Structure 1
């Protein structure tokens, strides 16, 4: 795990030289977000509920299983940091149409040409279906693992489609959060607050 932190630190140093620090929506990311706001480097907190290092680790693991290379680790860190910032700032809501998500999922998995948003939506559906498969039982790893799985799937799908991996990952991670919020799954995914939610209802909508 220390390697991911060192990679993030080196990336931020390079960003500071070439771009003057964090560039927000342009894809740059703040190493302070990656390291967290405390000396332990654990960014899993009550406001965002994410551990960025864990997200990167889970995403890299799934990426490797799908035949991806190590080059996506830096990209995973950027996307995860941006997601945490949006979540902490209240920029992610629960406005999501599961029917539209399934249309995107069927389009992408059947080999149809799709844009980055459709790829991201399809990846989010793929991640949720596999994460909560087997009767809707919770998988290990909580929200970090679910986001990591969605990001890795989005990167793989975008690479096959010739789309933007970062844009697809951004859409996938945000869509996961929208579903978590809408179906009140924060508590069961280790984010605190709320009820344990309606996994069965969600899985029914994504069937």
Structure 2
């Protein structure tokens, strides 16, 4: 799990630098969405440092960062992509509009995970070997929990339950948020060379 956080964190930093260069000359809705993506990228970079232990954990910073992510996801994100808005330095692939349902679903998933991330801020980071909670007995990943028999992973509809998600340690929700961003970028964003 630690390796995936490091990998996703590095990818987010690189994409943030590339995005800053690519924004030159953008106007209108394309600039608005690039600015929104830039704001989300800054949050993810900051939270990534916290998740890796490079900076001290700050629940309030997690809550504020999650608010930024929420404000730019879900319907707020899909509104930034009116059909055919790929003019100028846009990094949007035309597949956004030919596969709108998937794009919209990913945006909604991002909002769900960002909301749960903010609500879980006081949960803090999990510690190796901790009992209870996500990895302990009876917790979300323990017996009968998230990965146990009849748990969340056995029934994916639970992954849509914000109350259950908010019980997770923050880095689990951060990883889910980062993976959602990455999935969207892989499918719907032009890779800059």
Is the structural similarity TM-score above 0.5?
no
TM-score (norm 2): 0.29
Q: TM-score, normalised by structure 1?
A: 0.28
For the pair shown, the structure with the greater C-alpha radius of gyration is 2
